[in-house]
Structure 1
């Protein structure tokens, strides 16, 4: 058979998938890693040893069982789950975003979110065959309320994502604007997903709104991850919302989506939540110090942050990124992600020593 006429296995892969770019993860070997909003603090040695003993006793020859349910109940206690609400677990927030797109994949359904925002909102919509509508933020990275309301009325999205705080801009949106957008979604039966990935570093949680105004938030789902809590390597996310809604989304969850080892790690972390709370407090202190240090650098404009990252505009983002990398410091160059992010770098807040090294390297790079 002529090779040109021979059936090609790649033809079985959707063309839009073949034209997509995979989610890029930078090579960080040997680098000071400040590109992925990770908690820079390791477990204290005594807790490392204790966790090792716990994990060694996990029955890895069995499928995950009751301990996963115990983790779910521990998280319900940890967040003080509001009455009438339920919680489900995901393999990180990414899986939850995918499941939501799958569950809402009705003919003509779409997903809407402010941009720039977390890339997985658009990617999950595309993978599921849903339209994605991105509504640009203002020049100061605030919600453009008139534009968002107009887009919601035009498209009636099945899901509207509001990150609180937002990635990569790191700011927390105006709660009054969010309340009005949530009320608008209610008029056409749309879901609103409030993504609180960076909640440990924020001054407000939407869970308080859901608790205080359950009727106004009856179509709101709150999504969190333990990655920023300090367990990025463990891959645990969770979704909180009205029980009837969560029950339907939970039907899509693959069996055993959370491993026994991951569940044990997360249970251990919740038992020592005060250690992670102390780490978050240090990160918040360091964030303020980093913002002040960046503001003193000529030509650098840092933006307000309520996350464990700082967005900063520099004279030449690519040159600064390359200069930092040459000095062994890895950050995220987001300048090409969206026009609003022109010449911007996203910097993870590190330890005091890491932040000092970052500032020194940035001075040289500039």
Structure 2
């Protein structure tokens, strides 16, 4: 490792990249991996068959570039989201991380800034650094919540060019009230801030939880980002997308790489969208396991946060690192998110969830 680092440092690397480590959760060979918020349910057999058929058809055309505008996919995404959206409102890329990167390429950059509210998704500062966008770490309350008043005041104070709002938030799992989004947008009006609501986990929200999709009309600088990695169980396909005013998609066309969305990715996503009912049936089971985790961790005397996502953020441990290690020794991998006294666990299948809870009960009982 030291030798590799020496060779890396010998390269004419950008100064701001020296000493940095690449993003990535531990990839360990364990029986129960619940650390990266994947949908641990396999793709249903009928959806698998449909994907294979679509990809097979696309394979006959791989000597040609794919549809640069991925028109059919944008139409299907608009139909899935509803809210009066059309293909002109949709854009897609290789995962929601590329979506967010493209947004910063278009609206961030040198001399501009991104504001978000920490703790939140750990990729945000890395995306800012990669696009030479200044990063401003906004504040949350002691319980990691965010009020409309606090968020708006921070936008007025920092005057960012771009604001990222993660809802449901990662790693805490809590969704934002719609008044937070509207307050942030209004506070950014004087300096024309672009407001992005990252709804990667929206499909896992409790009934009655709002979505920023309902706020798009009349707000040309509001963007709602989604992904097919989580609810659609397509983490390996890499398909993220956003909904916004048509001119926002036009702006992203200025920075996208040519033919950035492969024919295979488009075919996979189309097949999944056309079988969304079968895929989203697993979402209800995941929500049951998530709520089960919350209930059982409370019974054990721990402090799980109410979650609108497919994971649970929990505290109440004197030594979270020791807890992480004890779980790992039982073959259960969860995420140490770097917040003292807290860990995050993905809601898996019933069997995976049982393995996690059984291990937790043993560790807590052992004291």
Pair 1:290 & 2:288 matched: no
Q: Report how far residue 285 of structure 1 moved.
A: 1.8
Give the structure 1 partner of residue 36 of structure 2: 36
Give the structure 2 partner of residue 117 of structure 1: 120
Give the whole-Å Cα distance in 1 for the aligned partners of 2:24 and 2:307.
24
SS in structure 2 opposite 1:333? coil
Give the structure 2 partner of residue 197 of structure 1: 200
Give the whole-Å Cα distance in 2 for the aligned partners of 1:15 and 1:140.
36
Give the whole-Å Cα distance in 2 for the aligned partners of 1:151 and 1:118.
19
Please give the TM-score of this superposition, normalised by the length of structure 1. 0.90
Structure 1: stretches of 5+ with no match in the other structure: 1-7
Give the structure 2 partner of residue 343 of structure 1: 341
Bigger mean CA offset, 8-17 vs 200-209: 8-17
Q: How does 1:1-366 map to 2 (within 5 A)?
A: 10-59=10-59, 60-65=62-67, 68-80=70-82, 82=84, 86-105=89-108, 107-202=110-205, 203-210=209-216, 214-215=217-218, 217-229=219-231, 230-298=233-301, 300-313=302-315, 314-334=317-337, 336=338, 341-366=339-364
Cα 1:144–1:108 change in 2 (3 A) is farther
CA-based RMSD? 2.1
Q: Report how far residue 252 of structure 1 moved.
A: 1.1
Structure 2: stretches of 5+ with no match in the other structure: 1-7
CA contact (8 A) 2:106 2:254 kept: no
Aligned residues: 350
CA contact (8 A) 2:83 2:214 kept: no
SS in structure 2 opposite 1:151? helix
SS in structure 2 opposite 1:57? helix
SS in structure 2 opposite 1:134? strand
Cα 1:317–1:51 change in 2 (3 A) is same
Give the whole-Å Cα distance in 1 for the aligned partners of 2:319 and 2:9.
43
Q: Report how far residue 45 of structure 1 moved.
A: 2.9
Q: Report how far residue 177 of structure 1 moved.
A: 2.6
Q: Report how far residue 53 of structure 1 moved.
A: 3.5
Cα 1:107–1:235 change in 2 (3 A) is closer
CA contact (8 A) 2:100 2:127 kept: yes
Give the whole-Å Cα distance in 2 for the aligned partners of 1:47 and 1:174.
34
Give the whole-Å Cα distance in 1 for the aligned partners of 2:154 and 2:36.
31
Q: Report how far residue 55 of structure 1 moved.
A: 2.2
Q: Report how far residue 150 of structure 1 moved.
A: 3.7
Q: Report how far residue 33 of structure 1 moved.
A: 1.2
